[in-house]
Amino acid sequence: MLKLDSIDLRILALLQENGRMSNLEMAEVIGLSPAQCSRRHHRLDECGVIAQYEARLRPAALGLQVTAFVHIGMERGHMRDLKLFRQTLARMPEVLECHSVTGDFDYVLKVIARDLEGLNVILTGRLVALPGVNFVKSLVCLEEIKPRSGLPLPQPPS
């Protein structure tokens, strides 16, 4: 694990807040020269601390009105179907996230759709039909209270 000092943590915090912030802007906020800031930013990229850069889109602006959390239970002995199941989910743009979990079901998915009819097609037409799937349960999101945000960063060393 890369040792991060307070300046590294400030760079990461600024990038999580605004991934489009220029190196010059970051350097000014942090109080570094642009060259020093650029070197540190590049090191954080190269060491894999920064996974990727992306634009965060507004679903409603694209006509995507329904978000659901989907619980999937797999048939026991489903290991033969697991690779195909995961590959299929990875190719579904409506599946925003997929997590293997412990508990009463095997996977939790975050799914987005234009409307309830579109969600129904995803659930009953696509997910239920996947090999090894035993059951699908969904929870429709009524309101997003805290959207995905940056990771909690550790306290800088003293």
Residue 157 confidence class, pLDDT cut points 50, 70, 90? low
- How far apart CA 51 and CA 39 sit, in angstroms, is 17
Beta strands 66-74; 133-140: pairing state: antiparallel
The total domain count for the chain is 2
Using the predicted structure, report yes or no on whether residue 69 has a pLDDT greater than 70: yes
Helix axes 23-30, 34-46, angle to 10 degrees: 110
Mark whether 91 and 125 lie in a shared domain. Answer: yes
pLDDT tens column, 10-51: 999 999 999 999 999 999 999 999 999 999 999 999 999 999
Nearest CA to 78 among 130, 20, 9? 130
Domain with 66, as residue range(s), is 59-140
pLDDT tens column, 131-154: 889 999 999 999 999 987 789 998
Q: Give the per-residue pLDDT at 77.
A: 76
Write the CATH number for 35: 1.10.10.10
Using the predicted structure, report yes or no on whether residue 81 has a pLDDT greater than 90: no
Mark whether 41 and 63 lie in a shared domain. Answer: no
Beta strands 66-74; 107-113: pairing state: antiparallel
Nearest CA to 155 among 16, 46, 4? 4
- How far apart CA 98 and CA 89 sit, in angstroms, is 8
Asked whether residue 16 is assigned to any structural domain, the reply reads yes
